[in-house]
Amino acid sequence: MKRLIKWILITAVFVLTTHIGLQFYFGRIDYKETLRTEYHPIDSVQIIETNHFKIMTPKNWIHIFQGYGAELDAAGCFITGNGRIHYEYGMFSNEFTFDSIFVFQQDSLTLNRFTIFIGKNESNEYGIHIPRQHEMQFPFSFYMSEACRVNFTELSNSIRNLEFKKAYIFDSKEVQN
């Protein structure tokens, strides 16, 4: 009986320590949606399928869903070999406009069917904004960071094949009824 209690305590301490470590590293994490993320390997890349979109990334990328913000924006990140790339999908995702206090240069680029805007700041960090287009229900942004700049080529290739799912938190048919 003492052994069982000992193992239960050790397991509980391990789970609690892991949870606290993940919360500290990611700020927040939605375990249910993170574990629902599907990975479909294809040669040297993979398709990461989340509740909101499908994106083709290098095989070593991992998706972490961080939940919904106060404005119901979906937030998450991709862990790459070169850092964490945070994203936001919702009405108030950052546009990185030129008059923002953090952006000193803004460029636009067309990648297949998406026109994207790239914000750059004085610290040589990049942010990518995709305004609402095609099947998107809201704008989508990758937060300004060094990891976004370092992984810009991979992100550009990923955006070329990005597919958004029609279903979001709200279903427009339910709202109309």
Give the domain ranges of the chain: 30-165
What tokens appear for 72 in the block?
């119901």
| pLDDT higher than 80, residue 21 | no
Instruction: Share the mean pLDDT of the chain.
Output: 80
Q: In whole angstroms, what is the distance from residue 121 CA to residue 103 CA?
A: 5
Provide, rounded to the nearest whole percent, the portion of the chain with pLDDT above 90.
11
**Average pLDDT for residues 88-115, to the nearest whole number?**
76
**Average pLDDT for residues 13-26, to the nearest whole number?**
68
For residue 136, count CB atoms less than 10 angstroms from its CB and return exposed for 0-12, middle for 13-18, buried for 19 or more.
buried
What pTM, to 2 d.p., does this model score?
A: 0.77
What tokens appear for 159 in the block?
């955006």
Residue-level pLDDT at 47: 92
Report domain 30-165's class. alpha beta
Which residue has better confidence, 67 or 96? 67
| DSSP 8-state secondary structure symbol assigned to residue 18 | H
Specify the 3-state DSSP secondary structure of 114: strand
